[in-house]
Chain A
């Protein structure tokens, strides 16, 4: 592996790979990727909702964007819960 993620995969230069360390690093990178995904979509949606005709500054829109961010997180959590419930129901019916 050429360190494609730019980090030492628990090798410590000793040639031995520690699975525990690898798993921790992978989990971190997955979490980062998810946060980026969330941020990207949130920015897109709130820009659409809050910025009409792009003006010279954000001033008037900042409150809208702040509220939008919170509502997007609420929505995300609601969807996550609903999807989880649905999956559990499906499993119970199998």
Chain B
């Protein structure tokens, strides 16, 4: 009897578990990196950096930290509220929070 692999991990059939784990880890790392890029750009341009000086003073540093925290808060707020309003009157055809 043919014993075909039933691993449907990535629809690729038999995926090397080591590679699979590697892909998952690297994907997560990349999500992190992308967000750091995005937040640095946003906080730099919009909020925290006026004129670049000889070093990052404590006020600017605190601004960046706050900026990150508020950005994450905003992101979470949006997701939560969207989920709530979705429950009462669905806007999108598919649920966001799979």
Interface residues of A (CB under 8 A from B): 19, 22-23, 26-27, 30, 34, 37-38, 41, 45-46, 48-50, 64, 67-68, 70-72, 74-76, 78-80, 82-84, 86-87
Find out whether the CB atom of B56 lies under 8 angstroms from the CB atom of A74.
yes
In the assembled complex, the Cα of A18 lies from the Cα of B22 at a distance in Å of 14
Q: Which of B16, B30, B56 contacts A75 (CB 8 A)?
A: B56
Known: A45-B45, A64-B52, A83-B32. A75 touches B64 (CB 8 A): yes
In the assembled complex, the Cα of A6 lies from the Cα of B80 at a distance in Å of 43
CB-based closest 6 A-B pairs:
A82-B68, A74-B56, A71-B52, A68-B52, A82-B65, A78-B64
CB nearest neighbor in B for A90: B72
Find out whether the CB atom of A67 lies under 8 angstroms from the CB atom of B36.
no
For B43, the chain A residues whose CB sits under 8 A away are: 75, 79
Total cross-chain contacts (CB, 8 A): 87
Find out whether the CB atom of B35 lies under 8 angstroms from the CB atom of A83.
yes
For chain B, the count of residues having a C-beta within 8 Å of the partner chain is 35
For B65, the chain A residues whose CB sits under 8 A away are: 78, 82
Find out whether the CB atom of B18 lies under 8 angstroms from the CB atom of A19.
yes
Known: A37-B37, A80-B36. A19 touches B16 (CB 8 A): yes
Prevailing SS type, chain A contact patch: helix
For A34, the chain B residues whose CB sits under 8 A away are: 33, 37
Q: Which of B26, B39, B52 contacts A79 (CB 8 A)?
A: B39
Find out whether the CB atom of A75 lies under 8 angstroms from the CB atom of B18.
no
In the assembled complex, the Cα of A81 lies from the Cα of B61 at a distance in Å of 11
Known: A34-B33, A82-B69. A45 touches B41 (CB 8 A): yes
CB distance from A76 to the nearest CB of B (A): 5
For B61, the chain A residues whose CB sits under 8 A away are: 74, 78
Find out whether the CB atom of B53 lies under 8 angstroms from the CB atom of A67.
yes
In the assembled complex, the Cα of A93 lies from the Cα of B30 at a distance in Å of 23
